[in-house]
Chains A and B, each alone.
Chain A
Amino acid sequence: MSAKTEERPAPPGQMDVTPLAKARQKSWFTEFRRRAMDEGEPYVIAAAVSPHEIFHALDVPLVTNTWYSSIISAKRLSPHYFDLMDRLGYHEDLPRYLSLPMISTLDDDPERAPYGGLPRPALILDRLRGDYAQRITTEWARAFDCPKFFLDVPVQRHLIPDWWRHAQTDWETLYGTERLDYHVEQIEALIDTAETVTGRRLDRDVLTEEMHRINRAGELLAEARDLIATSRPCPVALPDQLTNVMAATWNRGSQWSVDHMQAYRDEIANRVEDGYGICSGEKHRLLWINTGLWFNTAFYRAFEESHGAVFVWSMYSNYFSDGYRKYFEGDSLRALAARSISMNEQLHLPPWMAGWIEQQARDFGASGAVMLTPVGDRLSAYGTRACKRALEAAGLPVLELSASMVDARLWDNDAMIAKVGDFIETRIEGQA
């Protein structure tokens, strides 16, 4: 979810649908604020990689910890909460992005916290990704005095190559029956808990309809992605891709997300038909790998005029179509389990991460990649070295950048632009 709160002039080439996606996110927040914060309706805080679909189907307001963290960062409140973490004894190397919301609750200062701070949720849902998630969530649930639910997902033992070719229809083989059995049972337990804490009953037909709509939205995005990959020049800037695809992802299952992906796909098709490109002198197509640069998406466009270099892809461009779509007959819960069971593995385990990105490089005709490794976030660093190695071996030059994801003040824009510019000149143009 974008943390942008200020109106800015539209960047050149912005799609007509992009303001609609932003407006949707604004209206989501207005609605969330009214229901959960003003009227005290039970709501849920959930990890980004958890099955939100359950709560959408229950019509329970849901907010992700990453969203509130991005708001804290955008409002430049991170330094205050970092100071508090230091005073409380949390050492400075601990991953901070996901913990900022918890610290804002410990601070207990509604005057300072964005929107007066998050009220007590009915439930905090987290996935035990890494070893620290349960610690942050346990502390947070204690501070709120609210229930918590942990999803513990068994590790994938064998990584079948080319996961994206199997993930939509052959997911039972891809993820393994034992793991899926376990995860389905776990999601059933989550539904019980969710029903208890919210006082609502899940209508499984509603969930099934949602699941079909997610597949439909994913199909439309796949078409859009293919148009972007095959068209020269690139018809859509990366920030537009991010805004539209993420809005559909967060609102997945809704009719709005299907309609929006239809409009997104159609506008791209029109641009392609018209021969429109966001950079008239396009010479190089670049991939953005790993964490998104959410606080400075303008950076993605900084090399169009100077170098004719266009960022055409990041994992957010089509993870929704490749990773979220799960076709099923009958049991929608098993398909839901399949969606969330290996989300992180697909994006961060070396062969899966590297294989998928290599495929995107080929499909998008990329001539180089920039990889962002967040400082102080061990989990997001895993897989990057093997991925870089694989891409370089496949002939794709990769530049690795390190940056803090929570403190925009530490981003030296000029230095980063110089680095990428030098990379384009020496590694991409130099080898051409």
Chain B
Amino acid sequence: MIALQKQLDALAADPEAEARRHAAAGGRVVGVLGGAAPVELIEAADAFPLRLRGDPAGPTDAADAWMEPVQEGALRSIFNQLLTGGLDWLDLIVVPRSSEQLVQFYHLAEHVRAEEPDLAMPPLHLVNLLQTPEARSTRFNRREMERLAEALGSLTGTRPDRIRLREAIQWRNTLRHLASEVSSARRSADRSVSGQDAALLFLAGQVRPAPQAAEMFGRAGDLAASRSGPRLLLSGSGQENPGLVRLIEEAGARVVAEDHDWGERLYDHEVEEAPDPLDGLVRHYQCHAPTPRLPVGVTEARFTALLDAARPDGVVFALEENDDTLGWDIPRRLDLLKDRGIPALVLLRLSFFREDPETASKLVTFLEPLKEATR
């Protein structure tokens, strides 16, 4: 068996490799944007779900001709890939309505498709997800899921029926259960998994088939080592690249929890068993998918639960450039942390494309007293 660390190194070097192999072998690959696409349906339709990532080192010039610079950096990068043929090997891209950014991405892409019909862009499928907690939203979401199931069935020739969907949900639930063990392993007091390794494991669950990722999660204990330094919770914007976690851990702290949608938050709720598995899936994505459109009270409760579970020594809030949403949550969270005596650092305007040298120095300054206190 290949050592897990080697597998993670390979994953970090080329996260899409497995999906490309699958496509080269004639399999179907469906790209997904954000953390609220129902990957179980894609797997039940015998396709490979691949969460799309931006390329911080890549260009955005093609995207910039159409897209406003206030759009999220990662999405600008993905849009650039879309316009320049970098995603033409995908059979479909599923776009959940889980943030305003994704809605704008979807409509702009369709606009460009109409304006530039010669561009090699894969089709996009919008999942009109509603996250308000009403029964009418559940009924609406159910029809949306049925529509997606229909589209996937047409694409692959395999309709995601109940049996196949139940099996896909079971695999993803296994992954979710194992993810909680990964989280426990990195919070362990003695030998623990590093934040960087945990981030790569959680990435594996989004770019590898569930059974393969589950196998990796199950061996997380192999990565445990004796570690020191203050325990941090990383909150705020999605961190799809390991840069910030690496920066924090190089500064002598450990990331033991996060609430963004590339980390443990994506795995923290299992799909409930239901006579019709599609009903369970609908409720899961409506009520639990980690998006900025979840009701504020739900998001707040999750944050508090994470504090209780992870017992961090400090919290780092990291917000992307042009954040107009998550910043509203911070004052209340700072109050909560103050009550609990937990120090916090707020990092603003983090670029997707480059690391700001000031970020590192702010982290060092923030961590100094924490390191002293936890020594």
Contacts and interface: CB of A to CB of B under 8 A. Distances in A.
Interface stretch (A84-92, A115-123, A269-277): A84-92
B107 A95 contact: no
B107 A378 contact: no
A185 interface: yes
A138 interface: yes
B331 A132 contact: no
B132 A378 contact: no
Contacts of A94: 323-324, 327-328
A129 B297 CA distance: 18
A334 B137 CA distance: 18
Contact of A386 (B111, B134, B136): B111
A386 B109 CA distance: 11
Nearest to A349: B107
A349 B68 CA distance: 12
Contacts, number: 118
Contact of A182 (B108, B114, B140, B330): B140
A3 interface: no
Interface string A104-139: 000000000000000000000000111110111011
A295 to B, nearest CB: 22
Contacts of A88: 331
Interface residues of A, number: 42
B103 interface: yes
A350 B349 CA distance: 26
B97 A131 contact: no
A154 B140 contact: yes
Given A128-B293, A182-B140, A185-B136, A155 B97 contact: yes
Contact of A134 (B112, B137, B296, B346): B296
Indicate the member of A135, A351, A389 with the most B CB atoms within 10 Å: A135
B296 A135 contact: yes
Contact of A186 (B68, B136, B325): B136
Indicate the member of A129, A136, A154, A159 with the most B CB atoms within 10 Å: A154
B127 to A, nearest CB: 10
B65 to A, nearest CB: 7
Contacts of A231: none
Contact of B99 (A131, A150, A189, A349): A131
B264 to A, nearest CB: 22
A49 interface: no
A381 B292 CA distance: 19
A382 interface: yes
B128 A90 contact: no
A256 B111 CA distance: 41
Contacts of A182: 130, 136-137, 140
A189 B134 contact: yes
A389 B65 contact: yes
A130 B330 contact: no
A385 interface: yes
Interface in B263-319: 292-293, 295-297, 319
Contacts of A129: 100
B104 interface: yes
B154 interface: no
A382 B76 CA distance: 13
Contacts of B143: 178
Indicate the member of B111, B128, B132, B323 with the most A CB atoms within 10 Å: B111
B324 A389 contact: no
A64 interface: no
Contacts of B111: 349-351, 386
Contacts of B140: 154, 178, 182
B325 A93 contact: no
B120 interface: no
A130 B68 contact: no
B104 A382 contact: yes
Contact of A155 (B114, B126, B132): B126
Interface string B109-128: 01110110000000000101
Contact of A91 (B103, B128, B137, B323): B323
B292 A131 contact: yes
A384 interface: yes
Contacts of A385: 65-68
Given A135-B296, A135-B329, A381-B68, A157 B128 contact: yes
B134 A379 contact: no
A134 B97 contact: no
Interface in A345-402: 349-351, 377-379, 381-386, 389-390
A370 to B, nearest CB: 17
Given A152-B132, A350-B111, A389-B65, A90 B327 contact: yes
Given A130-B325, A131-B292, A89 B330 contact: yes
A134 B295 contact: yes
A348 to B, nearest CB: 9
Contacts of B327: 90-91, 93-94
Contacts of A89: 330-331, 334, 346
B348 interface: yes
A385 B293 CA distance: 25
B322 A93 contact: yes
B163 interface: no
A379 B128 contact: no
A136 B66 contact: no
Given A154-B97, A384-B68, A95 B137 contact: no
Given A91-B348, A132-B324, 20 more contacts: A90-B331, A91-B319, A93-B323, A93-B324, A93-B348, A94-B323, A94-B324, A131-B324, A134-B296, A138-B296, A150-B132, A152-B131, A178-B140, A182-B136, A349-B107, A350-B107, A378-B100, A379-B100, A382-B104, A386-B108
Closest 3 CB pairs of A and B: A135-B328, A89-B331, A131-B292
25 contacts: A89-B330, A91-B348, A93-B348, A128-B293, A130-B324, A131-B100, A132-B328, A134-B293, A134-B296, A135-B325, A135-B328, A136-B328, A152-B137, A154-B97, A154-B128, A155-B128, A159-B107, A182-B140, A189-B136, A350-B108, A377-B324, A382-B104, A385-B66, A386-B111, A389-B65
Interface of A: 88-91, 93-95, 128-132, 134-136, 138-139, 150, 152, 154-155, 157, 159, 178, 182, 185-186, 189, 349-351, 377-379, 381-386, 389-390
